[in-house]
């Protein structure tokens, strides 16, 4: 018989980025430490995770189905739409290092001017690799996803209108972890292993 307690709902979530190599929390109950930047409010659609495999199929004479398959590669992606405009999100969306941005301070005046951020785009770059952390939260239930190294593989169109927030739709592609570790590590609370 089913157990409704096993149904997980992503009521809310948080996403964090840091430089590759930044230390991850050691459990789902440990706060994100030094070096992790909270990316702020996200669209109500939440997180969309996709998994994929590329397989080689071995066919045999006279058989309708493959007799064996081998996994050549596994990949995945994590798509999130962010609502806040911050330097970290601008850097991810436009593939610009924050070190290449300039913040111009506000001037009291006269004439008074507000603070503004300045940066350029258009140079070819290898992308901005980051470590990514995601918490999916429902009450005291937490699923924590820690990805050692990601690049932004796709960016949705930015729309500016009076009807909706100017958002950043980003798809993160996990890359091989530095030093050969696990590319993606997960913590899920209140999920028991079956007894042998």
Query: What is the tens place of the pLDDT at every residue in 89-118?
Result: 999 999 998 888 999 999 998 899 999 999
C-alpha dihedral, 92 to 95 to 98 to 103, nearest 10° = -100
Q: Please work out, in degrees rounded to the nearest 5, the angle formed at the alpha carbon of residue 129 by the alpha carbons of 123 and 182.
A: 155
Residue 117 placed within a domain: no
Q: Is residue 35 part of a domain?
A: yes
pLDDT score recorded for residue 118 = 95
147 lies in a domain? yes
Which 8-state DSSP code applies to residue 33? Answer: -
What pLDDT is attached to residue 126? 65
Q: Which domain holds residue 145?
A: 11-55+69-97+127-188
pTM over 0.75, yes/no: yes
* pLDDT in the model for residue 55: 86
Query: Looking at the domain assignment, is residue 166 inside a domain?
Result: yes
* Predicted pLDDT at 45: 92
Report the pLDDT value the prediction gives residue 109, as an integer from 0 to 100: 81
Task: Give a yes or no: residue 110 inside a domain.
Answer: no
**Over the stretch 32-87, which tens digit does the pLDDT of each residue have?**
999 999 999 999 999 999 988 888 999 999 999 999 998 887 788 999 999 999 99
Q: Does a structural domain hold residue 159?
A: yes
The strand pairing partners of 186, in sequence order, are 145
Question: Which residues 6+ apart lie within 8 Å of 15 measured at CB?
Answer: 38, 39, 42, 80, 82, 132, 133, 134, 135
Residue 49 pairs with which residues in a beta bridge?
78
pLDDT of the residue at 124: 62
Evaluated on CA atoms 135, 136, 137, 141, the torsion sign reads: negative
119 domain residue, yes or no: no
Domain count, the chain: 1
pLDDT tens digits for range 155-176: 999 988 888 888 999 999 999 8
Strands 168-174 and 184-188: unpaired
Distance (Å, rounded) from C-alpha 66 to C-alpha 59?
Answer: 4
Identify which of 16-30, 108-122, 175-189 has the greatest average pLDDT.
16-30
Residues in the chain: 196
- Among residues 150, 8, 24, 31, which one has the least CA distance to residue 79? 150
Please report whether residue 79 resides in a domain.
yes
Q: Which domain CATH number covers 87?
A: 2.30.110
The pLDDT value recorded for residue 4 is 84
């Amino acid at each position: 018989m089913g157990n409704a307690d096993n149904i997980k709902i992503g009521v809310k979530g948080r996403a964090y980025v840091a430089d590759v190599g930044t230390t991850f929390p050691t459990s789902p109950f440990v706060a994100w430490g030094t070096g992790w930047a909270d990316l702020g409010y996200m669209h109500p659609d939440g997180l969309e995770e996709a998994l994929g495999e590329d397989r080689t199929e071995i066919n045999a004479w006279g058989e309708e189905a493959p007799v064996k398959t081998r996994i050549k590669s596994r990949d995945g992606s994590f798509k999130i739409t962010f609502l806040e405009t911050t330097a970290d999100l601008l850097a991810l969306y436009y593939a610009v290092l924050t070190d290449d941005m300039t913040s111009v301070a506000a001037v009291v005046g006269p004439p008074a001017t507000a603070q503004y951020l300045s940066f350029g785009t258009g140079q070819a770059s290898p992308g901005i690799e980051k470590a990514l952390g995601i918490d999916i939260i429902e009450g005291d239930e937490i699923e924590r996803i820690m990805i050692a190294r990601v690049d932004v593989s796709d960016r949705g169109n930015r729309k500016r209108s009076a009807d909706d927030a100017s958002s950043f739709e980003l798809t993160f592609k996990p890359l091989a972890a530095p030093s050969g570790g696990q590319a993606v590590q997960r913590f899920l609370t209140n999920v028991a292993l079956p007894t042998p």
